[in-house]
Amino acid sequence: MSMQKKPPKARQLTSLDALQQAAECLKTLAHPHRLRIVQMLLRDRYTVGQLADACDIHSHMASEHLRLMQRCGLLLSEREGRQVYYRVAEPHLASILRCIEDRFGGKQAAAGRKTSKPGTAIARS
Protein backbone atom coordinates (compact mmCIF):
# COMPACT_ATOMS: atom_id res chain seq x y z
CA MET A 1 0.00 0.00 0.00
CA SER A 2 1.63 3.25 -1.09
CA MET A 3 0.64 6.53 0.43
CA GLN A 4 0.45 9.38 -2.01
CA LYS A 5 1.02 12.90 -0.85
CA LYS A 6 -1.80 15.30 -1.48
CA PRO A 7 -0.80 18.40 -3.43
CA PRO A 8 -0.63 21.51 -1.28
CA LYS A 9 -3.86 23.44 -1.13
CA ALA A 10 -3.78 26.30 -3.62
CA ARG A 11 -4.16 29.78 -2.22
CA GLN A 12 -7.33 31.56 -3.14
CA LEU A 13 -6.90 34.21 -5.80
CA THR A 14 -6.92 37.80 -4.58
CA SER A 15 -10.02 39.78 -5.48
CA LEU A 16 -9.78 42.20 -8.39
CA ASP A 17 -10.73 45.06 -6.07
CA ALA A 18 -7.77 44.26 -3.83
CA LEU A 19 -5.49 43.91 -6.85
CA GLN A 20 -6.70 47.31 -8.08
CA GLN A 21 -5.69 48.84 -4.72
CA ALA A 22 -2.33 47.08 -4.92
CA ALA A 23 -1.76 48.37 -8.46
CA GLU A 24 -2.49 51.95 -7.36
CA CYS A 25 -0.02 51.71 -4.49
CA LEU A 26 2.61 50.11 -6.70
CA LYS A 27 2.14 52.89 -9.27
CA THR A 28 2.69 55.37 -6.46
CA LEU A 29 5.95 53.64 -5.51
CA ALA A 30 7.12 53.44 -9.13
CA HIS A 31 9.43 56.47 -9.02
CA PRO A 32 13.14 56.46 -8.16
CA HIS A 33 12.86 59.31 -5.63
CA ARG A 34 9.95 57.62 -3.88
CA LEU A 35 11.84 54.35 -3.72
CA ARG A 36 14.85 56.17 -2.23
CA ILE A 37 12.59 57.89 0.31
CA VAL A 38 11.11 54.54 1.34
CA GLN A 39 14.61 53.03 1.56
CA MET A 40 15.62 55.77 3.96
CA LEU A 41 12.43 55.67 6.00
CA LEU A 42 12.81 51.93 6.52
CA ARG A 43 16.04 52.76 8.38
CA ASP A 44 14.88 55.79 10.41
CA ARG A 45 12.51 58.75 10.39
CA TYR A 46 13.37 61.91 8.48
CA THR A 47 12.12 65.43 7.75
CA VAL A 48 11.17 66.68 4.29
CA GLY A 49 14.43 68.64 4.07
CA GLN A 50 16.56 65.62 4.93
CA LEU A 51 14.77 63.47 2.38
CA ALA A 52 14.97 66.18 -0.28
CA ASP A 53 18.73 66.53 0.28
CA ALA A 54 19.25 62.76 0.03
CA CYS A 55 17.30 62.66 -3.25
CA ASP A 56 18.91 65.85 -4.57
CA ILE A 57 15.50 67.46 -5.19
CA HIS A 58 13.72 70.58 -3.94
CA SER A 59 11.74 70.32 -0.71
CA HIS A 60 8.42 71.02 -2.48
CA MET A 61 9.01 67.99 -4.73
CA ALA A 62 9.88 65.79 -1.74
CA SER A 63 6.69 67.03 -0.04
CA GLU A 64 4.64 66.00 -3.07
CA HIS A 65 6.21 62.53 -3.12
CA LEU A 66 5.51 62.15 0.61
CA ARG A 67 1.92 63.35 0.20
CA LEU A 68 1.23 60.77 -2.51
CA MET A 69 2.67 57.95 -0.42
CA GLN A 70 0.74 59.09 2.66
CA ARG A 71 -2.49 59.17 0.68
CA CYS A 72 -1.89 55.52 -0.26
CA GLY A 73 -1.35 54.64 3.43
CA LEU A 74 2.33 53.84 3.03
CA LEU A 75 3.70 56.59 5.29
CA LEU A 76 2.79 58.52 8.43
CA SER A 77 3.95 61.90 9.66
CA GLU A 78 4.43 63.12 13.21
CA ARG A 79 5.09 66.64 14.38
CA GLU A 80 7.71 67.42 17.01
CA GLY A 81 7.74 71.13 17.69
CA ARG A 82 8.36 72.82 14.36
CA GLN A 83 9.65 69.67 12.65
CA VAL A 84 7.53 67.07 10.85
CA TYR A 85 9.05 63.61 10.69
CA TYR A 86 7.97 60.87 8.30
CA ARG A 87 8.03 57.14 8.90
CA VAL A 88 6.82 53.95 7.25
CA ALA A 89 3.25 52.95 8.11
CA GLU A 90 2.99 49.87 5.88
CA PRO A 91 5.16 47.02 7.22
CA HIS A 92 5.12 45.17 3.88
CA LEU A 93 7.22 47.94 2.30
CA ALA A 94 10.30 46.28 3.79
CA SER A 95 9.77 43.07 1.80
CA ILE A 96 8.86 44.99 -1.37
CA LEU A 97 12.09 47.04 -1.11
CA ARG A 98 14.08 43.90 -0.32
CA CYS A 99 12.84 42.35 -3.60
CA ILE A 100 13.80 45.50 -5.49
CA GLU A 101 17.23 45.70 -3.86
CA ASP A 102 17.87 41.98 -4.47
CA ARG A 103 16.95 42.32 -8.13
CA PHE A 104 18.43 45.74 -8.97
CA GLY A 105 21.06 46.43 -6.29
CA GLY A 106 24.76 45.67 -6.25
CA LYS A 107 26.33 43.04 -8.51
CA GLN A 108 23.01 41.80 -9.82
CA ALA A 109 22.16 45.27 -11.11
CA ALA A 110 25.36 45.42 -13.13
CA ALA A 111 24.63 42.00 -14.61
CA GLY A 112 21.00 42.98 -15.30
CA ARG A 113 22.03 46.08 -17.23
CA LYS A 114 23.98 43.87 -19.65
CA THR A 115 20.82 42.14 -20.87
CA SER A 116 18.22 43.47 -23.26
CA LYS A 117 15.38 41.36 -21.84
CA PRO A 118 15.23 39.21 -18.71
CA GLY A 119 17.18 36.06 -19.50
CA THR A 120 18.56 37.36 -22.82
CA ALA A 121 22.23 38.32 -22.90
CA ILE A 122 23.55 41.10 -25.13
CA ALA A 123 26.62 40.18 -27.16
CA ARG A 124 29.73 42.11 -26.17
CA SER A 125 32.18 43.43 -28.73
Q: Classify residue 107: in a domain, yes or no.
A: no
Q: Classify residue 77: in a domain, yes or no.
A: yes
Domain range enclosing 93: 21-100
Q: Classify residue 10: in a domain, yes or no.
A: no
- How many domains does the chain contain in total? 1
> Mapped to the 3 state alphabet, what secondary structure does the chain carry?
CCCCCCCCCCCCCCCHHHHHHHHHHHHHHCCHHHHHHHHHHCCCCEEHHHHHHHHCCCHHHHHHHHHHHHHCCCEEEEEECCEEEEEECCCCHHHHHHHHHHHHCHHHHHHHCCEEECCEECCCC
Report the CATH number at residue 56: 1.10.10.10
Q: Classify residue 78: in a domain, yes or no.
A: yes
Please write the tens of the pLDDT for every residue from 43-76: 999 999 999 999 999 999 999 999 999 999 999 9
Q: What is the pTM of this model?
A: 0.75
Q: Classify residue 11: in a domain, yes or no.
A: no
Question: Which pLDDT band holds residue 119 (cuts at 50, 70, 90)?
Answer: very low
